[in-house]
């Protein structure tokens, strides 16, 4: 076993940085600004800063709003040009209701989505007219703006790269600045890390480089311990499932473990386990070419765990947390596992391979068992781009949530609602466990019938103690989108960082 404190990265990663927007909070004066964003509760009755802007434009703003047909529906927005003395004014409707923190984030995303990507002028945001009972709402607006302003342009020419925006939010005191600078910006950094990892070509991100890239982000952070298990370590623990998935690749599998200890050693940690298939061809059960390029993002679960750990450790949360990222590349080769093979796991349970393309549950099987044996967690959550079944059932509105406990499911739905990353429960029935019984091994990695998301969860559940609070998130439908949304451009969403971060916050409050 190898303990890592600091890694010097190869030149491949030397140019990387988190190109987040430059954010300031101050008591702004409208006069002298050029590019404005006005959040309004009612577009027919401009108040506060919006009313002042209308006066300075001699009523042309209100006339333009009326002529444009802008409605009061949440998130509706229009951009107006040439309303002297301003060069650009974007009006975003927040509706005349109390807004949640997730909705505030969305408003921030709507605001920056209307400005040129390489705009050099500062964007001034005025939020005095929105209604919310969330403390320091400007901090959440800035967080949403940061999430929406993400760009992955590493491989573009220098003159095509996007410069970070400069956002100035109107805030009369330091509350919003403190919340954003000491807390929420770290969540945005975690999301950026997760998106970067999922957007990278599979040629560049494989188990070892994933470890190097992630480990570098934790250099210098307090109360953090990083451990990497290599193949020899896995052999000692009999992790035949994790090793088996990686047999067809020239890149050896790894198990990256990041521990953060922010409270008493006697407090059991929460364990986060993320699937990290750095590229998924399907193995011998090879996928069709159409869409296979997107399988570079099959590590999104592990990337989200890395991003969450970064956010939590950076702000110094009062919790104990351990993130486990099993990493492998699923490739066809002469020594790759085949359908019909049997793998032995750390738990001792044997698995018959029905499909080598049902590989995520295999690496999770050894990782969740290792998490329980080594860290004795008080709760375990695993997250994975596991099944197309979850995407077909819930599309891109919800991640699939599966637990053994309905009350826990209800709590997780509340976490999703608050965080802005919503989940919806799918069943875990005793029959699902019957469907994965094997004639030649203890279980098989794929069952008969249609409930694919539940079958995948049943395989993982086989390796999770029944008395342990356990949450299974299948993010196959939400991790990569083909169109922009309020808080993210199309592509990798970094889905799960906000959800898991919110879960950790709520657990910290209970300590």
Angle made by CA atoms 469, 471, 476, in degrees to the nearest 5: 170
Answer whether 440's CB lies under 8 Å from 497's CB.
Answer: no
Distance CA 30, CA 57 (A): 12
The catalytic position among 287, 315, 404, 417 is: 287
**How many other CB atoms are there within 10 angstroms of residue 25's CB atom?**
25
Please indicate whether residue 148 is annotated as part of the active site.
no
Q: Cα(102)–Cα(72) distance, rounded to whole angstroms?
A: 18
- Say which residue the tokens 């596992």 belong to: 337
Which listed residue (361, 444, 498, 505) is catalytic?
361
Answer yes or no: are the C-beta atoms of 87 and 34 closer than 8 Å.
yes
Instruction: Please say if 392 is a catalytic residue.
Output: no
Q: Which residues pair with 3 in a beta bridge?
A: 227
CB 65 within 8 A of CB 92: no
CB 361 within 8 A of CB 452: no
List the strands of the sheet with 77-81, edge to edge: 22-26, 166-170, 123-126, 35-40, 88-93, 77-81
How far apart CA 40 and CA 51 sit, in angstroms, is 10
User: Per-residue b/e over 478-508, b at no fewer than 16 CB within 10 Å?
Assistant: bbbbeeeebbbbebbbbbbbbbbbbbbbebb
Q: Name the nearest CA neighbour of 427 among 399, 459, 451, 398.
A: 451
- Give the integer Cα–Cα distance in Å for 296 and 272: 21
Residues 372 and 395 sit within 8 Å (Cβ to Cβ): no
> How many Cβ atoms sit within 10 Å of the Cβ of residue 124?
24
Task: Report the distance separating Cα 399 and Cα 477, nearest Å.
Answer: 7
Just list the catalytic residues: 287, 361
């Amino acid at each position: 076993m190898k303990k890592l404190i600091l890694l010097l990265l190869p030149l491949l990663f030397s140019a990387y940085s988190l190109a987040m927007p430059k954010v300031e909070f101050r008591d702004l004066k409208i006069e002298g600004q050029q590019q404005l964003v006005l959040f309004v509760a009612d577009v027919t009755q401009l108040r506060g800063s919006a009313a002042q802007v209308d006066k300075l434009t001699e009523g042309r703003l209100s006339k333009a709003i009326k002529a444009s047909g802008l409605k009061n529906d949440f998130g509706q927005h229009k951009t107006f040009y040439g309303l002297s003395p301003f060069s650009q004014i974007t009006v975003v409707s927040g509706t005349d209701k109390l807004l949640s923190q997730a909705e505030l984030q969305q408003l921030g995303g709507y605001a920056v989505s209307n400005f040129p990507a390489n705009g050099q002028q500062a964007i001034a945001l005025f939020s005095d007219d929105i209604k919310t009972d969330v403390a320091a709402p400007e901090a959440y607006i800035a967080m949403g703006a940061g999430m929406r302003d993400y760009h992955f342009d590493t491989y573009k020419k220098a003159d095509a790269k996007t410069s970070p925006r400069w956002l100035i939010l109107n805030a009369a005191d330091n509350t919003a600045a403190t919340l954003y600078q000491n807390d929420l910006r770290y969540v945005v950094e975690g999301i950026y890390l997760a998106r970067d990892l999922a957007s990278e070509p599979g040629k560049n991100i494989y188990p070892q480089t994933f470890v190097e890239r992630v480990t570098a982000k934790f250099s210098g952070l307090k109360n953090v311990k990083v451990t990497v298990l290599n193949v020899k370590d896995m052999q000692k623990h009999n992790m035949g499932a994790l090793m088996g998935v990686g047999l067809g690749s020239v890149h050896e599998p790894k198990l990256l473990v990041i521990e953060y200890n922010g409270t008493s050693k006697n407090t059991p940690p929460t364990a986060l386990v993320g699937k990290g298939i750095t590229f998924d061809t399907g193995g011998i059960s090879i996928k069709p070419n159409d869409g296979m390029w997107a399988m570079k993002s099959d590590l999104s679960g592990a990337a989200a765990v890395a991003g969450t750990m970064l956010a939590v450790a950076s702000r110094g949360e009062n919790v104990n947390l351990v993130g486990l990222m099993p990493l492998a590349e699923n490739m066809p080769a002469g020594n790759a596992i085949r359908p019909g093979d049997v793998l032995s796991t750390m738990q001792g349970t044997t698995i018959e391979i029905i499909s080598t393309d049902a590989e995520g549950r295999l690496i999770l099987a050894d990782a969740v068992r290792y998490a329980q044996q080594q860290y004795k967690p008080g709760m375990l959550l695993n997250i994975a781009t596991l099944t197309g079944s979850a995407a077909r059932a819930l599309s891109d509105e919800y991640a699939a949530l599966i637990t053994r406990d309905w009350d826990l499911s209800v709590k997780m739905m509340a976490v999703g609602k608050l965080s802005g990353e919503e989940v919806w429960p799918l069943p875990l029935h005793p029959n699902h466990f019957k469907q994965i019984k094997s004639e030649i091994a203890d279980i098989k990695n794929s069952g008969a019938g249609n409930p694919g998301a539940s079958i995948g969860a049943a395989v993982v559940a086989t390796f999770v103690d029944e008395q342990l609070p356990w949450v299974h998130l299948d993010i196959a439908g939400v991790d990569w989108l083909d169109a922009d949304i309020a808080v993210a451009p199309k592509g990798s969403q970094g889905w799960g960082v906000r959800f898991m971060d919110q879960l950790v916050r709520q657990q910290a409050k209970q300590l």
